[in-house]
Structure 1
Amino acid sequence: MEIVKSDVLIIGGGLAGMMAALAARSCGKAVTIVSKRPIGKAGNTLVSGGGISSATGEEQNNAENFLQDIMRSGKGLNNGTLAHKLAAESPSILRQLEEYGVKLVRKDGSYKKRRPPGHSVPRNIPTDWTGLAYQNRGLSFMLPLLDRIREQNIATISGVRIFQLIKSDSRVVGAIGVDKENNAYQFLADGVVLATGGEGYLFAKTNNTSDITGDGLALALAAGCRLQDMEQVQFYPTMMFDPVKVPISNPLFGAGAVLRNAAGERFMKRYDSAGDMATRDNMARAIFMEIQAGRGIDNCIYVDCTGIPSAQLKEQYKDFYQFLLAAKIDPTKDFIKVSPCVHYSLGGVVIDEFAATGVPGLYAAGEICGGIHGANRLSGAALMEACVFGRQAGISAASQPAQQKSERTFESKYSPNFTIGDCSATFNTVRRKMWEDVSLIRSEQSLQRMNDYIDRMAQETASGSLQSVYLRDLLRVAKTIVQSALVRKESRGAHFRRDYPQINPAFAGNVQCWLEEDELLFKFMPINTMSS
């Protein structure tokens, strides 16, 4: 087993992980990043829209207004302290990103800003992704940070999946992982940051990358962390799957795009008074219900961009326009078929404003965390979250006192067998069933059906191999979603239950879950007890 020592260990090679690594390095610490996929090409930032939402200091777009939009979108489930930190620190993140070489688009000396649905003012700032593929616009963030990581001599190890955190007494002091050749690694560090993203790939219909399978959430649970709001899974309303797979960007609606059903009718006002500028949760559910009502086309509805002036579409959305033209779709006259899909994990690890998980030595940042966005997330706020809390997690992990890193090998009860192998069929079945029973519209019946399936599969996969650990972890994370959805007997934000279709003030609070003697426990925490 190869032993790798550093002051700070970052698990995850996406935007949050890279921001954490650079922050820890700026504190003078030796840093190692380990990731399943190549550093800088891991996680969902890769396929993001290349735009980040931020306060910019103008009277109409100050931090307080940004915070109000975040809280309103979150429908009472946000952690106000975390949301305040996100909004307040966002302007400094813009400056830091530019220092790192990220090219934020400016016009007449000021940031160019767009207004996606849910935002009260324009504040979504696009990056310059010239030379990048339209589907990989997120590289406009990742590549400059990767260059800086190399300049700072930060150690990077790709192709390694972490399957166990190492604890000494009650403190996390490292991790154990294996690569695809079944070589084992032991990482030792004073501070550890989890930045592995959410669990969106546990659903069959998703725009998440294939490495977002909830690994970090399972690691956090096993280490003693609490998760919250796992029932809150955000759906992207307008994903095009055919003839190419690409999200149809939300800012288009601010420019004049509208939704239409198979008959060409604009339908959003039936579901939300904001119409085509509704927040993502309401828009996704409206599309889903319109399709279910038989008013869709090929299980899709249309995005109509013809109301956007042709010159604006060709200039302001040049890359989008040219990308669709290459797919033989002309958005100046053709409608675009879209449907909802799983987009973002709103729930996750409970953290404080210092990115601490409550487990000594362990921090978390990015989509793996819960509480910041509440029951719904604004467009572009995830990238800002990754930056704000990635930076904070790196600083906090770097502040940990030095531990004596022994040469001894920590024991693992699992045999090193990294390949998915014969569990891939089960994994695909889990994904299909999660979409069928736990997606946009849920019920006691559908949730209980999925819960029973998870319990059966958990019994069948209980062995000592790493394959069974992989299945155990994904089933465990799936169960946190299902059981939390059963606890929340109301509809709020991204969580909608057919049998409880209204918001219930009694559920103004968070559903938390944790492991106790290898059993998942769940508890609803009303707002007035959430800090206890």
Structure 2
Amino acid sequence: MPDTLLTPSGNPDSATRHTATDILVLGSGLAGLRAAWAAREGAPHLRVTVACLKSAPSGSSFTNRNNALGVQLLDTEPRQSAFCHEAIALGRPGFVNKKLVEILASESQDRVREMEALGLRLRRNPDGSLARFPGCGSHDPRAAIFHDLNGAFNQYRIKTDSCGVDFSIGTEILGIVTDAGAARGAWGWDAGESAFTAVRARAVILALGGPAPLFARHQAGGANPGLSLGLLADAGVKTANEPFLQFMWGREDASFLNPASLLAPGHGLRMPDGSRLDAGEALGPTLPKLRALRLAHCPAFHHQPQAALDRLLLHGLHQDGFARVETPNGVIKAGLYAHAGNGGSVVDEHGQTSLPGLFAIGECATGMHGANRLGGAMVLATQVFGRRAGLAAARYAAGADLMDASLFRNWCDESTRQCGAMGNGRRTRQAIGRDLSRYALFGGTPGDRRGLEDFRTRLTGLVRLPDRRTRLAALTALLVSRPTDDPFQYTP
């Protein structure tokens, strides 16, 4: 019998459960579900399978702290033009593809109206008009906001189900299968079955989220191991902007703090050596302007003048990873949390990576933003490039063959044999997370370049370990911990 979705194939004695589909989507966030929907509509005669860890809402798309997301709605030419100008300027010095930014702008209105048609409700003013807000990094109120992310997930799931998309729940993806210079499927670990599983496919779409969950302190959504950059590196895919993560300041419970408010006149840092550093004395007459700039965005922005405020707070971090800010109302403990990644695979206008047959979207792709991104641009990118990648994968899969079942089985079995026991490496990965949150915050923790160098040396050894998760975590950490050499520093 020919291979079909979730139909075992190959040697029944193999330790790995083998199945096959036509288009394999890895991840079930906003990007992955939009891609699956598009792929199914683009090629209704082909099977589309979404492989994910959970059937419930997960990832930064559907499980963020605020139960709300913003999306850029660019429904006029002036709004599109302003968005492109701001996005490209904010993306420097990272890699930005102007063509991808322009595609985001030109397709924004159609994709947002599509979201409304699904049942997502955008916030309205009392008079019924659409409420608009400036996204982080912009003073122009273009972005719309929708709430109830659980409801949003359900609407996307209903849509994909109605299209005939299949779901494979419970798989943690650990590798992309490649053969003859193309992606041919993926393999991973099913904790529920305590077994490896592998899926042959004609095309693969990577939508597994970004690297923030690797950090000991992070604000990313659940069910994302944070290994996507490692998966891309392991498959030899070209990537960019990897060390440009979004970081947010927060209290010990991770509730948001803006450095502009923390470093108000009269406030000071109690330094680790017990001395006090006044914000005004530290930054002098530039403090008011820097505070005004920093108030306009929640995440720290790389290579922007106001980053000096973030660097000042980083200089005040104590051993526990929190700065002590003394205010007239008491001491505030502030730590820096990894939030989302701006780096990922370099893709074309259809989400195609440098590896034929592999498409990347969401936090797994970059170029539509660079070192920083405007608020609401990532949600927009999930829809614009999720749709584009799904349609492109459908076209690609229609002309591609499945990898020979015997060769695929041998490829995967060899990979799983090299993994060792799947329970190994937990403490090592926890140590990677602690060191990322100690040495690799916001392009490299100030004043500890030697610590970062030693950490990266340790990582080069860890990538050679047999434990698969540890190897992928180390590969990812090597990419995100590269110093960004930001010129806007606080210098004591």
Corresponding letter in the other structure for 1:176: W
3-state SS of 1:106 partner: coil
For the Cα contact (< 8 Å) 1:103–1:140, is it kept in 2?
Answer: no
Residue number among 427, 435, 438 corresponding to 1:436 in the alignment: 438
| Aligned twin of 1:276 | 295
Residue number among 140, 143, 155 corresponding to 2:154 in the alignment: 143
Post-superposition Cα deviations, 1:148-196, rounded to whole Å, max 9, x if no partner, equal: 1222231111210122222231121211222003233221222110001
Equivalent-residue separation in structure 1 for 2:117 and 2:389 (angstroms): 20
Superposition deviation, residue 498 in structure 1: 7.6
| Aligned twin of 1:510 | none
Equivalent-residue separation in structure 2 for 1:215 and 1:73 (angstroms): 26
Q: Does 1:110 align with 2:129?
A: yes
For the Cα contact (< 8 Å) 2:90–2:371, is it kept in 1?
Answer: yes
Superposition deviation, residue 3 in structure 1: 3.5
Corresponding letter in the other structure for 2:288: K
For the Cα contact (< 8 Å) 1:349–1:369, is it kept in 2?
Answer: yes
Over 3 Å counting, the alpha-carbon distance change for 1:39 and 1:361 in structure 2 is: farther
Superposition deviation, residue 397 in structure 1: 0.5
| Aligned twin of 2:73 | 55
Corresponding letter in the other structure for 1:189: A
For the Cα contact (< 8 Å) 2:73–2:112, is it kept in 1?
Answer: no
Post-superposition Cα deviations, 1:56-79, rounded to whole Å, max 9, x if no partner, equal: 32576x111111121122124322
Number of equivalenced pairs: 440
Post-superposition Cα deviations, 1:466-488, rounded to whole Å, max 9, x if no partner, equal: xx111111101111223x42xx5
Over 3 Å counting, the alpha-carbon distance change for 1:155 and 1:284 in structure 2 is: farther
Mean CA deviation greater in 161-170 or 12-21? 161-170
For the Cα contact (< 8 Å) 1:346–1:373, is it kept in 2?
Answer: yes
Superposition deviation, residue 458 in structure 1: 3.7
| Aligned twin of 2:377 | 381
Q: Does 1:361 align with 2:357?
A: yes
Residue number among 30, 33, 38 corresponding to 1:15 in the alignment: 30
Unaligned runs of at least 5 residues, structure 1: 130-137, 305-332, 502-532
Corresponding letter in the other structure for 2:429: F
Equivalent-residue separation in structure 2 for 1:418 and 1:15 (angstroms): 33
* 1:409-488 equivalence runs, <5 A: 409-411=408-410, 412=412, 413-415=414-416, 421-440=423-442, 441-442=445-446, 444-459=449-464, 462-463=465-466, 468-482=467-481, 484-485=482-483, 488=484
Corresponding letter in the other structure for 2:34: M
Percentage identity across paired residues of the two chains: 23
Q: Does 1:286 align with 2:309?
A: yes
Q: Does 1:221 align with 2:217?
A: no
Q: Provide the aligned C-alpha RMSD in A.
A: 3.4
* 1:267-346 equivalence runs, <5 A: 269=288, 271=290, 274-277=293-296, 280-282=299-301, 286-287=309-310, 289-290=312-313, 292-293=315-316, 299=323, 338-346=334-342
Residue number among 337, 344, 351 corresponding to 2:347 in the alignment: 351
For the Cα contact (< 8 Å) 1:262–1:302, is it kept in 2?
Answer: no
For the Cα contact (< 8 Å) 1:287–1:339, is it kept in 2?
Answer: no
State the TM-score, normalized to the length of structure 1: 0.74
Post-superposition Cα deviations, 1:278-311, rounded to whole Å, max 9, x if no partner, equal: 573256762452463589x96355999xxxxxxx
| Aligned twin of 2:21 | 6
For the Cα contact (< 8 Å) 1:300–1:339, is it kept in 2?
Answer: no
Residue number among 77, 87, 91 corresponding to 1:70 in the alignment: 87
Equivalent-residue separation in structure 1 for 2:219 and 2:103 (angstroms): 28
Over 3 Å counting, the alpha-carbon distance change for 1:117 and 1:64 in structure 2 is: same
3-state SS of 1:491 partner: coil
Post-superposition Cα deviations, 1:352-391, rounded to whole Å, max 9, x if no partner, equal: 1110002111100000112222111222222112221111
Residue number among 142, 145, 162 corresponding to 2:173 in the alignment: 162
Post-superposition Cα deviations, 1:237-273, rounded to whole Å, max 9, x if no partner, equal: 3x3433xx4446x8xx9xxx94455955897636455
Equivalent-residue separation in structure 1 for 2:243 and 2:314 (angstroms): 23
3-state SS of 1:410 partner: helix
Unaligned runs of at least 5 residues, structure 2: 1-15, 269-278, 281-286
Residue number among 190, 201, 207 corresponding to 1:195 in the alignment: 207
For the Cα contact (< 8 Å) 1:301–1:339, is it kept in 2?
Answer: no
Over 3 Å counting, the alpha-carbon distance change for 1:141 and 1:159 in structure 2 is: same
Over 3 Å counting, the alpha-carbon distance change for 1:438 and 1:74 in structure 2 is: same
For the Cα contact (< 8 Å) 2:325–2:331, is it kept in 1?
Answer: no
| Aligned twin of 1:87 | 105
Equivalent-residue separation in structure 1 for 2:76 and 2:99 (angstroms): 23
Equivalent-residue separation in structure 1 for 2:199 and 2:389 (angstroms): 18
Superposition deviation, residue 5 in structure 1: 2.7
For the Cα contact (< 8 Å) 2:18–2:409, is it kept in 1?
Answer: no
Over 3 Å counting, the alpha-carbon distance change for 1:414 and 1:376 in structure 2 is: same
Corresponding letter in the other structure for 1:299: A
Over 3 Å counting, the alpha-carbon distance change for 1:298 and 1:338 in structure 2 is: closer
For the Cα contact (< 8 Å) 1:195–1:368, is it kept in 2?
Answer: yes
Q: Does 1:30 align with 2:25?
A: no
State the TM-score, normalized to the length of structure 2: 0.79
3-state SS of 1:455 partner: helix
Mean CA deviation greater in 374-383 or 49-58? 49-58
* 1:196-275 equivalence runs, <5 A: 196-209=208-221, 211-237=223-249, 239-242=250-253, 245-247=254-256, 258-260=261-263, 263=266, 269=288, 271=290, 274-275=293-294
Equivalent-residue separation in structure 2 for 1:301 and 1:352 (angstroms): 45
Equivalent-residue separation in structure 1 for 2:392 and 2:108 (angstroms): 18
| Aligned twin of 2:163 | 152
Over 3 Å counting, the alpha-carbon distance change for 1:45 and 1:378 in structure 2 is: farther
Q: Does 1:491 align with 2:486?
A: yes
